[in-house]
Amino acid sequence: MTIKPSPRLALLLLLFHAIVATVVSMTAMPVAARLAMLALILLSLVYYLARDVLLLFPDSWREVAFDQGGVSVVTKDGSSLSGQAASSTMFSPLFAVLRIRVEGHRLPVSRTIFPDALDAGAFRELSVHLRFSRKLS
């Protein structure tokens, strides 16, 4: 399954970061602290837009494939991650949070995938794979 840029994810990232920036700007913190927090929020927005929406970073996920009980991911730089779908992986008709336990890593790697980031029918295929992999685990 080839992953494409997701306009829905971009919109949600913009919305959530704007809400947090609004809350921070309305607090009674000193101005310097507020400016530092707003800078961090802006950096977070730029990072996640570049990595997960525009797929610009070398570790941006480009393809996801399922094989005998495992999941493999190909990143933009051509490297591959493979492992098992973590039990905390979740899916719904609106989005899927794919969490992969990679061999040799302590923490799982995760990405949120929206239906508009995949070809028609590929999101359904992803949901079916995740549903059956969770029942088998």
Rg of the chain (C-alpha set): 17
Q: Which burial class, exposed, middle or buried, applies to 64 when counting CB atoms under 10 A from its CB (0-12, 13-18, 19+)?
A: buried
pLDDT in tens, 80-132: 888 888 888 888 889 999 999 988 888 999 999 999 999 878 988 888 887 77
pLDDT in tens, 7-52: 999 999 999 999 999 999 999 999 999 999 999 999 999 999 999 9
The verdict on domain 61-136 having CATH code 2.30.29 is yes
What residue spans define the domains of the chain? 7-53, 61-136
> Is the distance from CB of 61 to CB of 2 less than 8 angstroms?
no
